[in-house]
Amino acid sequence: MRVILPDKSELELPDGATGLDAARAIGPKLAEQAVLVRTNGQVRDLRLPLDDGQQIQILTMRDGDDPDALWVLRHSAAHLLAEAARRLYPGTKVAIGPPIENGFYYDFEFPEPVGEEALERLEEEIRRELGEGREWERWEVERDEARRFFEEQGEPYKVELVETADGEISFYRQGDFVDLCRGPHLQDSKPIKAVKLLSLAGAYWRGDETRPQLTRVYGTAFYDPKDLEAYLHRLEEAKRRDHRRLGKELDLFHFSELAPGMPFWHPRGMVVWNALEDLRRRENARRGYEEIKTPLVFDNELWRTSGHWEKFRENMFFLEAEGREYGLKPMNCPGHCLVYADAPRSYRDLPLRLAEAGTLHRNELSGTLHGLLRVRHVTQDDAHIFCTAGQLEAEILGCLDYAFFLYDLFGFDMRVELSTRPDNRLGADEEWERAEAALASALGKRGIAYDVSEGEGAFYGPKIDMHMHDVLGRSWQLGTVQLDFQMPQRFGLAYAGADNAEHTAAMIHRALLGSLERFIGILLEHTGGNLPVFLAPEQVRVLPVSDGHHEAAFALAGELRFRGFRVAADARDETLGRRIREAEVAKTPYIVVWGERESRDALAVRKHGGEQSTMSVDALLAELEAAAKL
């Protein structure tokens, strides 16, 4: 048999050869350092046999920055954690332990509750295991044998996994620990040079709140200790930038257990919110969108028509009144379909662009809620475009241009994905192919590079998802442009064409900032709370040095306020230094000090962060006008 290497050369191997055999055939050093085989974008254990004509790439310890190489390292580290937990806490039952972005976790049912002190004990035990060295052995077993093994081990979670597993069942052993696992894993533990256990959390078995709550132990691992050090530094910076902490410090919002996952916006927070709303309304109007408002609650018959009842019901809230069953809307699109259907439409009426920053509710599991980034009360900068087939490309391009206009305002570095048909979907494959091709064509027309995210489309259509990278290198999805041929059919959304025949409209769903809650949370973390001047709740704070300067300071504050800026004057009986520090903590972009030496021609202006200058009132106004302009 032959396999094809990355440089297109062919490597001849005996039938049944494994990835490790291929590495040995190339050279002993490669075989020693090999950690994984990658083939056609998929990861594969080194121990598995290769197919004739297969394209392969062998990843090694030197590929420490490669996501797949890190994935297998962290997968093996998770198994070391499970071995350590069973040894240190006899009677512990193990559940699942996958690698995840930036690390790994393992879920356990400990015989007694454990606290943060367990992290240090477990980490020390893992270091002992690494000192001894571990090798991973893989073999396949029959389902009945696997079930018997875990029943004898007293591992009910593994028994359940065996019973629900698809395909072949494989075991991996390191030391005296045997786990049910598809792999892949390292050859041995030598590549694991740095491990850190990070936190504990509760997690329901299989994400089902009716099942037992387990203890989830999070950790991470790297090929190089320097990479771990850099990662921990980023974690500390992320804690400093946590939007939940900043929201409290800046008095923007809070959460209450009386309304889980639903933020309470304070006056300063509403300044930020309304500035984004003003931006949304202004730019929508410039681009021909019409504002509408639809109800929060609909009869469940609407959700059956739209497909949400079939595909999205578990994420919805429901209520009953006077014998009728209703659902709180999780999306605006069905309501917009009703607005379209309320009047006869002609091709001359299209495109029809309907916008609504509607309040939505989604029944997210309590364990997944995370400040503004994952909420149950959602407000999207939503719009739906109803158009003819011939207008599709221009409308998709218009959405993309609008999106990148917004992202450029904030200086975001964007990455684009084309998300294709999921398994759980409506409609025929031919319709999906047509929709996917239309989105891909629009991206090509604009010269926008993109990755394909297989199976990640919405249940009603494919989508273009736009992600930004923040200052910590994290990726966040913001906007989405989705093409839908399903809802127009289900709602009978027709128009009279130029040929006087009836045609079904096409529908584009688009949200560009995405959820406003999530966008503000991301922006707070990206900026560390130092919001752009145009969004800052307080743009200027004027500080009189003493009582004799109050009149001039308040007059300046009033003048700036009259010009449309958000201004406060702080004349409290505190030292000037303390008032400056408090303005800095509040992240006010401009601090103006008025004392004996200050006048309209010479203001002492301090920008947030410490930069100081002297400027006239007119110069300050000109700078503020430029900085606060959206």
Annotated catalytic, 333? yes
Dihedral of CA 413/471/71/213: which sign? negative
CATH number for 283-527 (one of 3.10.180.10, 2.70.150.10, 3.40.50.2300, 3.30.930.10): it is 3.30.930.10
**Given a cut of 80, is residue 397 above it in pLDDT?**
yes
* Portions of the chain given CATH number 3.40.50.800: 540-627
Average pLDDT of 156-169? 94
Annotated catalytic, 463? yes
Neighbouring C-beta atoms of residue 447, cutoff 10 Å:
6
Annotated catalytic, 380? yes
The CATH class for the domain spanning 67-240 reads alpha beta
Which of 382, 465, 484, 570 is the catalytic position? Answer: 382
**For 276-314, what is each residue's pLDDT tens digit?**
999 999 999 999 999 999 999 999 999 999 989 988 899
| CB proximity list for 400: less than 8 A, separation 6 or greater | 442, 443, 446, 448, 464, 481
Q: Are strands 475-484 and 506-515 parallel, antiparallel or unpaired?
A: antiparallel
pLDDT band at 49 (very low <50, low <70, confident <90, very high): very high
Give residue 476's pLDDT.
93
Which of 380, 391, 486, 539 is the catalytic position? Answer: 380
CATH topology for 2-60 is Ubiquitin-like (UB roll) (3.10.20)
Of the candidates 39, 6, 181, 8, the residue with the CA atom closest to the CA atom of residue 19? 39
According to the CATH classification, is domain 540-627 in 3.40.630.10?
A: no
* Portions of the chain given CATH number 3.30.930.10: 283-527
Annotated catalytic, 382? yes
Which of 463, 518, 526, 587 is the catalytic position? Answer: 463
Annotated catalytic, 550? no
Average pLDDT of 120-129? 97
CA distance 340 to 28: 68
* Portions of the chain given CATH number 3.10.20.30: 2-60
**Given a cut of 80, is residue 260 above it in pLDDT?**
yes
**Given a cut of 80, is residue 489 above it in pLDDT?**
yes
Kindly state the DSSP code that residue 505 receives in the 8-state scheme. P
Which of 280, 308, 333, 518 is the catalytic position? Answer: 333
Q: Which amino acid is at 257?
A: E
**For 490-544, what is each residue's pLDDT tens digit?**
999 999 999 999 999 999 999 999 999 999 999 999 999 999 999 999 999 999 9
Whole-number mean pLDDT of the chain?
94
Annotated catalytic, 282? no
Annotated catalytic, 618? no
CA distance 580 to 241: 22
* Portions of the chain given CATH number 3.30.980.10: 67-240
**Given a cut of 80, is residue 5 above it in pLDDT?**
yes
**Given a cut of 90, is residue 222 above it in pLDDT?**
yes
Which of 353, 509, 549, 587 is the catalytic position? Answer: 509
pLDDT band at 424 (very low <50, low <70, confident <90, very high): confident
Which of 216, 362, 376, 541 is the catalytic position? Answer: 362
Of the candidates 471, 605, 580, 475, the residue with the CA atom closest to the CA atom of residue 530? 471
**For 332-381, what is each residue's pLDDT tens digit?**
999 999 999 999 999 999 999 999 998 999 999 887 889 999 999 999 99
**Given a cut of 90, is residue 426 above it in pLDDT?**
no
Which of 79, 185, 280, 384 is the catalytic position? Answer: 384
The share of the chain scoring above pLDDT 90, in percent, equals: 90
